[in-house]
Amino acid sequence: MEELYTLIEEKIKASGYPDAIDGSEFYNDISAEADNQENGMYMFILKKSEILSYKGCMTIMDEQFDLHYVDIHVKDTVYHVDFDA
């Protein structure tokens, strides 16, 4: 799993996102959004604080999910992270 967390951190950093991000925490946040959902494609919004939110798209399958992209909103700035690329 550490490789996955590192990959998440690298992709987010490559988007230009200036702050440090914990790949494990990010994965757990997104995973929690997928929990208890039926199979299908979903758009989601996850508000982390008054100035930070995630908006993205994922496909949920039986025992896993595929995060396609996430837009990280910090105040008026958006960092797009394409996990399919």
**How confident is the model over 31-81, as pLDDT tens digits?**
999 998 999 999 999 999 999 999 999 999 998 999 999 999 999 999 999
- pLDDT for position 63: 86
Show me where the domains of the chain are located.
Answer: 2-82
- pLDDT for position 36: 84
pTM of the predicted structure, to 2 decimals: 0.91
Task: Report d(CA 74, CA 54) in Å as an integer.
Answer: 9
